């Protein structure tokens, strides 16, 4: 039986009769001969036909032929075709071209997601993104973390009611979870100690910026028996280093295509940790303007400073004032044991130690205008003994965006949800 091989495997089959299968990417008819580029999940190969062909771009075909060397063909080999089965026809009115070297504008991409994912450049973003998620999980499993799957339908908002999408649940008004915060803390306290989750998170915010999505994938981590938030930053630089190494090893071609690179694991270990006040001082020094907040411009400035001073485009900003962090953040005087990680000018993580003592939690709630009853079962987690713990969350799309240097985070979401888009 003749075997189907992938377009990238031609070199191993010189002189053999094989099948290729895929999509017709481009056709060049030269009268006596036609060159057809065939696209499959692995890449693109050249097919050679005698005379003209009777199919158009995007037709799905299964072809039979003999592999021949040709230094002018992509990869140095081509298939001289003897038989073609058309598996599915394709209409000729593609709304955007999928076989051009020039980039398609972002609005055209986002308005035609079903077709734009056929563009090899676009699809490669999501192959790389799958590796990020896999490396995240594998590194944490190597540290004895257990993966959890928590509910995304919640009866009340742990972090307050604003920014929540409402769901009609058999006549009851419930919400889509903004984060699995409650659940990952519950699982640490249950005795699982170290947990992670890869799941959807929802923000009903009316932002329409290149860095916001209304539905995104949150890479969530929570760890018990920590000595402080420093342990979490240690964990995160090791984790990101492992992710970057895996991306470098498996997606060097995609990085090259985007003119991108990733920091090494060694570079990540050098990520500086500066407190919030110090950060504002650095911004002021570098811009000549007093910084009242760390705004997007300030975030870019801090990463630029980290690159200059520490050789890595990442920086932890720690010790945020208590009023700027959620109620459950562990206090440290008027500040908190919390951090953000900025990477290449964008916040990709928020994290910190959490309050684990029931008494401290009950004292804290009124300061944030909250009550034990209003938080549903949240306080039960701490009532019956919970170890010191903390965690962080990384936005998968933002991390993808920052690795590849994408101008808009929506390019890093397969089917992005924003104010205007809830289809397809």
Is residue 279 helix, strand or coil? helix
The distance of closest approach from Cβ of residue 60 to a second copy in the complex, given in angstroms and rounded to an integer, is 5
Write each residue from 42 to 61 as x if it is in contact with a second copy (CB under 8 A), else as -, in one continuous string: ----------------xxx-
- Determine, following the binding rule CB under 8 A, whether residue 78 of this chain makes contact with a second copy: no
Answer yes or no whether residue 219 interacts with a second copy by CB under 8 A: no
Is 348:393 a contact under the CB 8 Å cutoff?
Answer: no
Residue 97 in contact with a second copy, rule: CB under 8 A: no
Q: Pattern 384-403, binding to a second copy, x per CB under 8 A?
A: xxxxx-------x-------
| 328 part of the interface to a second copy, by CB under 8 A | no
Site for a second copy, residues 121 to 160, rule: CB under 8 A: 123, 126-127, 129-130, 133-134, 137, 141, 144, 146-156
Please state whether beta strands 314-318 and 273-275 pair in parallel, antiparallel, or not at all (unpaired).
Answer: parallel
> Is residue 422 part of the contact set for a second copy (CB under 8 A)?
yes
Rule CB under 8 A: choose which of 1, 30, 88, 334 binds a second copy.
88
Q: Which residue has the tokens 């808009």?
A: 408
User: Pairing mode, if any, of strands 194-202 and 146-147?
Assistant: parallel
Non-local (6+) Cβ contacts of 123 within 8 A are 117
Q: Give the interface size with a second copy as a residue count (CB under 8 A).
A: 97
Least distance from C-beta 286 to a second copy, angstroms? Answer: 37
- At 175, which helix (H) or strand (E)? strand 172-176
176 counts as binding a second copy under rule CB under 8 A: yes
Stretch that binds a second copy, among 37-45, 239-247, 271-279, 286-294 (CB under 8 A): 37-45
Strand pairing partners for 66?
Answer: 17, 80
Distance CA 62, CA 22 (A): 7
Query: Could you tell me which stretch among 119-127, 275-283, 319-327, 333-341 binds a second copy (CB under 8 A)?
Result: 119-127
Residue given tokens 């951090």 in the structure block: 339
Q: Do residues 194 and 144 touch, judged by C-beta distance below 8 A? A: yes
Choose one: 9-17, 183-191, 267-275, 310-318; the region binding a second copy (CB under 8 A).
183-191
- Best CA proximity match to 409, nearest among 422, 393, 397: 397
Residue 117 found at the interface with a second copy (CB under 8 A): yes
Q: Footprint of a second copy on residues 189-218 (CB under 8 A)?
A: 189-194, 198-200, 204, 206, 215, 217
Using rule CB under 8 A, residue 167 touches a second copy: yes
Q: Nearest-CA neighbor of 66 among 49, 54, 44? A: 49
How many Å apart are CA 352 and CA 336, to the nearest integer? 8
């Amino acid at each position: 039986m003749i075997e189907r091989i992938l377009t990238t495997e031609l070199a191993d089959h010189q002189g053999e009769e094989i099948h290729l299968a895929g999509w017709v990417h481009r056709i060049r008819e030269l009268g006596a001969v036609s060159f057809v580029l065939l696209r499959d999940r692995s890449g693109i190969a050249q097919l050679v036909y005698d005379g003209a062909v009777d199919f158009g771009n995007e037709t799905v075909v299964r072809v039979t032929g003999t592999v021949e060397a040709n230094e002018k063909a992509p990869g140095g080999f081509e298939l001289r075709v003897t038989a073609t089965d058309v598996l599915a026809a394709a209409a000729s009115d593609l709304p955007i071209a999928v076989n051009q070297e020039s980039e398609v504008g972002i609005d055209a991409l986002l308005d035609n997601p079903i077709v734009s994912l056929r563009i090899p450049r676009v699809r490669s973003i999501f192959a790389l993104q799958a590796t990020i998620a896999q490396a995240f999980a594998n590194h944490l499993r190597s540290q004895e973390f257990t993966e959890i799957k928590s509910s995304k339908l919640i009866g009340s908002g742990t972090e307050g009611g604003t920014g929540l999408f409402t769901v009609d649940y058999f006549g009851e008004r419930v919400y889509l979870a903004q984060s699995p915060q409650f659940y990952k803390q519950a699982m640490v306290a249950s005795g699982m100690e170290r947990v992670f989750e890869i799941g959807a998170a929802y923000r009903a915010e009316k932002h329409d910026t290149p860095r916001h999505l209304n539905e995104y994938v949150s890479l969530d981590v929570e760890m018990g028996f920590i000595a402080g938030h420093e342990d979490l930053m240690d964990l995160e630089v090791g984790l990101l280093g492992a992710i970057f190494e895996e991306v470098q090893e498996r997606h060097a071609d995609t990085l090259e295509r985007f003119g991108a690179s990733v920091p090494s694991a060694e570079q990540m270990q050098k990520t500086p940790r500066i407190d919030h006040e110090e950060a504002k001082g650095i911004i002021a020094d570098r811009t000549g303007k007093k910084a009242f907040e760390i705004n997007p411009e300030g975030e870019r400035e801090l990463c630029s400073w980290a690159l200059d001073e520490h050789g890595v485009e990442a920086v932890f900003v720690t010790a945020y004032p208590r009023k700027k962090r959620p109620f459950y953040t562990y206090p440290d005087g008027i500040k908190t044991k919390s951090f953000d990680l900025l990477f290449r000018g964008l916040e990709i993580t928020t994290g910190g130690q959490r309050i684990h003592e029931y008494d401290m939690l009950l004292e804290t709630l009124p300061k944030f205008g909250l009550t034990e009853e209003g938080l549903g079962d949240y306080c039960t987690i701490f009532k019956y003994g919970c170890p010191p713990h903390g965690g962080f969350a990384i936005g998968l799309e933002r991390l993808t965006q920052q690795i590849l240097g994408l101008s808009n985070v929506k390019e890093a979401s397969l089917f992005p949800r924003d104010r205007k888009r809830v289809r397809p």
